[in-house]
Amino acid sequence: MSWTHEFKEALKTNEDLKNFFDQDFPEINYPLFIPQVFASKILEAGPDSALWKQFLPNEQEDNQTLGRLDPIGDKVHAKNNQLIHRYENRVLFTPTTVCPILCRYCFRKNELSLKDDIFDQKFTEAKKYLKENPSINEVIFTGGDPFILSNEKLAFYIQEFSEIDSLKYLRFHTRTPIILPSRIDEGLLSILISAKHLFKRSLIMIHVNHVSELTDDVAEAIEQLTNEGIEVYSQTVLLKGVNDSTDALFDLFTKLSDCKVKPYYLHHPDEARGTMHFYLPLEEGRKIVASLHNKLPGWALPQYIIDIPGGEGKVPAFNPESFEFSGVLINRLGEKIKIN
């Protein structure tokens, strides 16, 4: 089945879910979207699984008293031209609000479902902004999910960006290879190969949270990319009840490494409204990450990162033995030790 067909046939209503999973789900105020091939994997994994918890509705999503509507301050840095410019050298480019699936824990779920104005289609303005700001050398395709765009549209954007001299790097943040591995078709492969030649580096960051997402069809899709010399990295969100254990993350990062994917970031969850049942304290995440340092080499370990609420940006979340700028070491017990 072609990926566009899979996309059209996705489960979108409670009625669809009920028919497919043969059980009732709570009616919630956020939209639903699960392609059927992936829904079969969820069904097989069962109700206690990482897949089920990430993608099937839970009544706790409608708790509107906890969490923030714009948890990482995208609005503060939105340029109203498909760009979010928070860091000097790089911008997020949001050409679509569409995703291959709707993740229940999504930190953008409030913005995406409200069709927020930061996702307006204003490409000419975006291009102008990039030309006028030559300190920007990297464009990061995000969304939504950029691989939901047609090959024609992707090729168009890549060509347009390649004409801006100051741009050296291109990046794609995507969940599509996990959800619709059939999307990695000949057309997309050749576009990604051409991007590799048009820019100094062109990187794909796959969003993946649990080893059970890396089924054989997914591993084969990833292998098609790595076989062509395309650089593939991963991003993972730490989620309560899904992957908040040493074993779950060890298995995930080991499998990714075996697929020649470099784990890039492990995100501490953002405090987004409607997702707080996935939230866990920083202290718990830091303990898990500390134990991973004993089991995996640096090249198989992502950086544990937290996005500071309100638009301050990302900072490392793991520093059990880090230094203050003055050179004071804070050890695992929280004691301060002066090093010269």
Ligand X SMILES: *Cc1c(COP(=O)(O)O)cnc(C)c1O
Paired residues of 266 in beta bridges: 236, 304
Quick check: 36 and 10 in contact, CB under 8 A?
yes
Say which entry of ligand X, ligand SF4, none residue 180 contacts (CB below 5 to 8 A, set by partner kind): none
- The region of 100-108, 218-226, 242-250, 297-305 touching ligand SF4 under the rule CB under 6 A is 100-108
Binders of ligand X in range 81-140 (CB under 6 A): 84, 86-87, 90, 92, 140
Nearest to 199 by CA among 154, 166, 153, 177: 166
Query: First and final CA of the chain: distance in angstroms?
Result: 63
Nearest approach, Cβ of residue 52 and ligand X (Å): 28
Q: Per CB under 6 A, does 106 bind ligand SF4? A: yes
Decide the pairing of beta strands 328-330 and 336-338: antiparallel
Helices H, strands E: what count in the chain? 13, 11
Q: Which is nearer to ligand X, 222 or 306 (CB)?
A: 306
Q: Per CB under 6 A, does 175 bind ligand SF4? A: yes
Q: Give the pair of three-digit tokens for residue 158.
A: 């890549």
Q: Which is nearer to ligand SF4, 176 or 202 (CB)?
A: 176
Total number of residues that touch ligand X (CB under 6 A): 8
Nearest approach, Cβ of residue 179 and ligand SF4 (Å): 8
To the nearest 10°, report the CA torsion of 302, 308, 179, 16: 150
Q: Per CB under 6 A, does 99 bind ligand SF4? A: yes
Query: DSSP assignment of 201-218, as one string?
Result: EEEEEEE---GGG--HHH
Q: Which is nearer to ligand SF4, 102 or 301 (CB)?
A: 102
Q: Give the pair of three-digit tokens for residue 202.
A: 């062109």
Q: Which amino acid is at 292?
A: L
Residue of minimal Cβ distance to ligand X = 86
Choosing from 34, 50, 56, 103, the residue that interacts with ligand SF4 (CB under 6 A) is: 103
Question: H-helix or E-strand containing 171?
Answer: strand 169-174
Q: Per CB under 6 A, does 273 bind ligand SF4? A: no
Give me the 132-161 binding string for ligand SF4, x by CB under 6 A, dash otherwise: -------------x----------------
Nearest approach, Cβ of residue 73 and ligand SF4 (Å): 16
Q: Per CB under 6 A, does 11 bind ligand SF4? A: no
Binders of ligand X in range 71-90 (CB under 6 A): 77, 84, 86-87, 90
Nearest approach, Cβ of residue 99 and ligand SF4 (Å): 3
Nearest to 7 by CA among 185, 240, 206: 185
Choosing from 17, 92, 102, 317, the residue that interacts with ligand SF4 (CB under 6 A) is: 102
Nearest to 47 by CA among 73, 22, 15, 14: 22
Quick check: 20 and 14 in contact, CB under 8 A?
no
Q: What's the rounded Cα separation, in Å, for the pair 178 and 163? A: 31
Which residue do the tokens 């057309």 mark? Answer: 187
Say which entry of ligand SF4, ligand X, none residue 92 contacts (CB below 5 to 8 A, set by partner kind): ligand X
Nearest approach, Cβ of residue 178 and ligand SF4 (Å): 9
Torsion sign, CA atoms 7, 175, 66, 23: positive
- The region of 71-79, 96-104, 152-160, 225-233 touching ligand SF4 under the rule CB under 6 A is 96-104
Say which entry of ligand X, ligand SF4, none residue 90 contacts (CB below 5 to 8 A, set by partner kind): ligand X
Nearest to 136 by CA among 93, 174, 96, 94: 93
Residues that bind ligand X (CB under 6 A): 77, 84, 86-87, 90, 92, 140, 314
The residues of the shown chain that bind ligand SF4, judged by CB under 6 A, are 99, 102-103, 106, 108, 145, 175, 207
